[in-house]
Amino acid sequence: MRVHLEFDPLTLRSIATGEVRNSRKSALFTDVLHGLGRRTRALERIHPNGAIRLSAVWIAVKNLNASIETYKRLGLVPGRAIEAPDLAANGREIAAGTGPLLPLAPKAAHNSGPIDDFLASRGVGLMGVTIDVADIARVRDYLKAHTAGVLDPPWESADYVLIPGAAAHGLWLRLNEVSSVH
């Protein structure tokens, strides 16, 4: 469902600052926000682990700078630099629609790590994805109840769980907790 909203700048400022001047327009705006919250909660119910959306695609590359230049020639815009210590890799976000591509290359100082192992065994290509979830505790509970040995404490933090490719048919999964609209 697409909703087209037309608000004049004064109304938008009023809504943003809480000074509502037109109750009909502000009620519509509030209904749209509540609709987004309902959609997020509905998605949480569909996926047992609480997955909301695919938020990034990781691509293992040997040369990060060459990769970035290739994406630029294709008209894609590089974003912020990323450090991925769990993978012994550095990367750069590449804007691509609703979520970034994330080319990852081995850190220069490392000769061993997950990114090096991936490149040695499979070469350049799709390495993993990041999936946003509503509640990381729910993810941990689900994984503990349904998978033996997938959750390994070195691959966890307060706001994410990283599942190595060996446990997910060769595709690394990072499940990130995000705050949802309610």
Is 106 exposed, middle or buried (CB count within 10 Å of its CB: 0-12, 13-18, 19+)? buried
Listed by start position, the domains of the chain span 9-46, 51-177
CATH architecture group of domain 51-177: Roll (3.10)
The first and second tokens of residue 72, run together, are 């630029």
Report residue 178: phi and psi, to 5°. Answer: -130, 155
Rounded to an integer, the average pLDDT of 151-168 is 76
Q: 154: pLDDT confidence band, cut at 50, 70 and 90?
A: low
User: Taking Cα atoms as reference points, which of 34, 39, 70, 60 lies closest to residue 122?
Assistant: 60
Task: Please state the rounded mean pLDDT for residues 37-44.
Answer: 53
Q: What is the pTM of this model?
A: 0.69
